Amino acid sequence: MTTHADPLPTDLAAAHAMIIAQREQLTLAKSEVTVGRLEIERLKLMLAKARREQFGQSSERGKLLVEQLELAIEDLEETQAEQETKAEFAAPEAAKQKHGQNPRPSRRSLPENLPVERIVEPAPCACGKCGSERLHKLGEVISKTLECEPRRWKIIEHVREKFSCRDCEAITEAPAPSHPIPRGFAGPNLLAMVLVNKFLLHQPLNRQSKTYAREGIEIDVSTLADRVGACVVALDPIIEAIRIHVMSAERIHADDTTVPVLAKLKTVTGRIWTYVRDDRPFGGTDPPAALFYYSRNRAGEHPRSHLAGYVGLMQADAFDGYNQLYKAQRKPAPILEAACWSHGRRKFFDLAKSGEAPIASEAVRRIDILFEIERTINGKTPEQRLAVRREKSAPIVADLEIWMRKQRTLLSSGNDTAKAINYLLNGWAAFTRFLDDGRVCLSNNAAERALRGVAIGRRNWTFAGSDAGGNRAAAVYTLIETCKMNDVDPQAWLADVLARLPDYPINRVADLLPWIWKADRRSKAAAA
């Protein structure tokens, strides 16, 4: 690395080369820091387990400590894999030199009892050096990949025959096949299964490792974590393409949910945010998609960052953190707020369940009429929806406002029903925007449906191991939820995309998005 004593370059090309070299070294240094943290946490785990073995089961707190450390190590290993993969993409030669100086521990050998599928790559027809066609076979170079198909494990051998030239004695062989991730012995179907099991079926990696062991395949948790981290980096171009698609929508849904995050033997409440594009309710032809982000808290700075360049309609609840997005001075332009009637109805419904709140019960009845009208126009064009709303919904909304203002005068300011009424009236412009724009939905249910998988998953994995783990989860949720919204099998799509990405042109990566992938598969099936 260049020091203060080294002379600075005098020309632009040399300065550019120095900056690139320093960036490569910085990327590798970050990876080494993560390795050091990982080793510290691993030693802490070994110490905690040793103490438990020596002194026995002293308390549930000791057991929780071991489980938390195991989860923290899993997240660190995934982060390490992300950083190493980024370093290999950014500086392949420097990373290769580093691996040569500090080789990774030898991995567990592949099982010998699995069936082997041989794939012989096409042999070269001419010498790669002089072009002569007088070749004779010397031997084979075999690279093995552990692959998993549904209910069937197998090893795939990619055989590359080696030939020597009769004229110049040069050795020629077919190029090695690309792997979905660097250093990966796992095939794309296996990688897709691990991702789907963790983020769709909510099975933590330690449970997956035990499941595979019962099937006769021993894969360490650290190895699975390494694969997950590397896959997130490999799939990043797809995630960015989805982000661009969602943020180009005329209207989006926004919502968030809690996600406990491990922090020094306790958990803090982080957030998973989602922004959903779904034009199907107003007959839009653009495919739906969901974008997820993670943050350590629920501060308003996070949605402002997520939506920094977005201009359009946004349907959301009345969260104060969104208020800056709606202000006239916002650049490039204010976002138009559309409120969620389901949230407003829910406040009355919770009061009406007791049977002792007749005003709340009447409010629910009136709002339900609006939802009944909406069901008759779902999927129609914005113009058709707007015409029906102005004819049928507008009079009901006008009567509801008059009725609520009258009822509020009969209630004390601290009354729960009065608070529910104020929730609607304080945001009345946002609640009634659907009467002026046929694209607006009556509810924010699209975003709530997208977050349902996160809420279900919390019961299984309890908490995220770190902020990096939360960001990884948000990235994979983006892929899986977008597949679900387009009626695409996430595992089949991930397996195919992971197999094709290494050799796929980066300027055509949008062709691999789930809805395009699905249409391409259908056209090929029809042609066959």
Q: What is the pLDDT of residue 268?
A: 80
- Give percent helix, percent strand, percent coil of the chain, each to the nearest 5: 55, 15, 30
Residue 116 has pLDDT above 70, yes or no: yes
Nearest to 237 by CA among 520, 518, 502, 516: 502
pTM of the model: 0.81
Mean of pLDDT over the chain: 86
Q: Which of 14-18, 50-54, 59-63, 278-282 has the lowest mean pLDDT?
A: 59-63
Separation between Cα atoms, residue 418 and residue 408, nearest integer Å: 6
Cβ–Cβ < 8 Å for 224, 208: yes
In DSSP terms, which residues pair with 274 in a beta bridge?
Answer: 255, 292
Nearest to 431 by CA among 401, 407, 403, 455: 401
Residue given tokens 């690395």 in the structure block: 1
Average pLDDT value for residue range 420-443? 95
> What residues contact residue 164 under an 8 Å CB cut-off, 6+ apart?
135, 136, 138, 170, 171, 172
Give per-residue pLDDT as tens, 209-248: 999 999 999 999 989 998 999 999 999 999 999 999 999 9
Residue 45 has pLDDT above 70, yes or no: no
Q: What is the pLDDT of residue 60?
A: 45
Cβ–Cβ < 8 Å for 94, 24: yes
Residue 455's pLDDT band, with cuts at 50, 70 and 90, is: confident
Q: Which of 181-195, 325-339, 489-503 has the lowest mean pLDDT?
A: 181-195
In DSSP terms, which residues pair with 149 in a beta bridge?
Answer: 152
Residue 464 has pLDDT above 90, yes or no: no
Separation between Cα atoms, residue 164 and residue 139, nearest integer Å: 10
Give per-residue pLDDT as tens, 263-295: 666 778 889 999 999 999 999 999 999 999 999
Separation between Cα atoms, residue 315 and residue 399, nearest integer Å: 24
Scanning 299-431, the segments in alpha helix (DSSP H) are 301-306, 323-326, 341-352, 358-377, 382-388, 394-408, 416-426, 428-431
Cβ–Cβ < 8 Å for 207, 237: no
Cβ–Cβ < 8 Å for 489, 253: no
Q: What is the pLDDT of residue 377?
A: 96
Phi and psi dihedrals of 264, rounded to 5?
A: 50, 65
User: Comparing 111 with 333, which gets the higher pLDDT?
Assistant: 333
Q: Is the peptide bond before 332 cis (omega within 30 degrees of 0)?
A: yes
Q: Which of 49-63, 358-372, 426-440, 463-477 has the lowest mean pLDDT?
A: 49-63
